[in-house]
Structure formats: C-alpha cells, structure tokens
Amino acid sequence: METESPKPKKMRFPYREILITLVIALIIFLVAQATVQSVKVVGASMEPNVHNGQYLVVSKVAYWFHPPRRGDVVVFHSPQNPDQDIIKRVIALPGETVEIKGGKVYINGTPLEEPYIAEEPRYDLPPQYVSEDCYFVLGDNRNYSSDSHVWGVVPEKNIIGKAWICYWPPSEWQSISGHSFDED
C-alpha cells in the first residue's frame, strides 16, 4: 500500500490580512487624531507649572461632555493668530465678571484663591464681562504672560482641549491638573 505524499500548499499572498491590518491602523490613527493632540510649550507664561520646551498631550474629548471649568489648563487657537496654539488657565466663565486689582483676581466681586501662580499680578484690569461662549484666560506667570488681560476673551470654538500630560522631557513627566474650586 502506497501512501501519497501530501501536496505542498501553494503560497498565497495574504491580501486579506494586509487589508485588515491597514484598516485597523487607519481606525486607530483616526481615533487618536480625534481625541488627543501633542503640543510644545513655547515661552514662560505658564511657569511655575508648565515650562518652555515641554511637550504635552492635550485631551480633545475633555469638553465633549462638559464645558471648560475654572482652573482648567487649556490649549486653544489664538484669537489674534488662529495658526498659533496657546496654553493658559481658565479664570472666568461665560456670564461672569472678572476684575484684577491690588494683585488679586476677582470673579463677580469675590477674590479668587490662586495657589498655582508664580506671583501676584502687578497690573490692574477694570471689570470685564465675559460674554456667552467665551472664556477669560490667564497665564500662571501673570506678569510675563500675554493673555486675556491684554487681548480679550477666548471664544469657546477656539479651544482645542484640556492639557492632560507632560510627556517630554521624561524627567518632567506629570499630569497637568487644573485647580479645583469649591463653587464649580
């Protein structure tokens, strides 16, 4: 009795597997593009908390379910130059009045506790009403920041997302947390 040797299977190019891999890679890429963004910090306006040259991950989904909150560190398109992305802290919300006097920030006449700033501001700002769908933002390094006290409020549509994590340099890995406020 003779046994037949098995016929060698033909090598076929795995088109289906390659196509599936490419589709999965495309889906992962699109989800990442829709949910996070990397930004480089330029300048010292957010010191002592965020430094020049750091790279941050920005969560674009942070505001899908709720609007920005006071204390959030946000990245947005500059109202003056939409091609430039800026990082600042949300200070006043839509419908509020903000004022800066005597080294303190006041929201609706109440002084704001700000343990995150480098030093108290050495400038004053008369009361400013923050219109609907806009936010008043300031840098943590108040006296060395071009922000809402100089060029006005940021429209909500300009906000890219909430600063989430510093990933570069590795020695400065950290979560970028907003300051929580009792009233929010």
**What length is written for the chain?**
184
Q: Which amino acid is at 171?
A: S
- How many Å apart are CA 38 and CA 36, to the nearest integer? 7
Is residue 78 among the annotated active site residues? no
Do 44 and 54 meet the contact criterion of CB atoms below 8 Å apart? no
Is residue 40 among the annotated active site residues? no
Q: Which of 9, 10, 40, 45 is catalytic?
A: 45
- How many Å apart are CA 122 and CA 105, to the nearest integer? 11
Do 152 and 107 meet the contact criterion of CB atoms below 8 Å apart? no
Angle 47-57-175 (CA atoms, 0-180°, nearest 5)?
Answer: 60
Q: Which of 59, 60, 88, 148 is catalytic?
A: 88
Distance of alpha carbon 130 from its chain centroid, rounded? 20
Coil vs helix vs strand at 36: strand
Active site residues: 45, 88
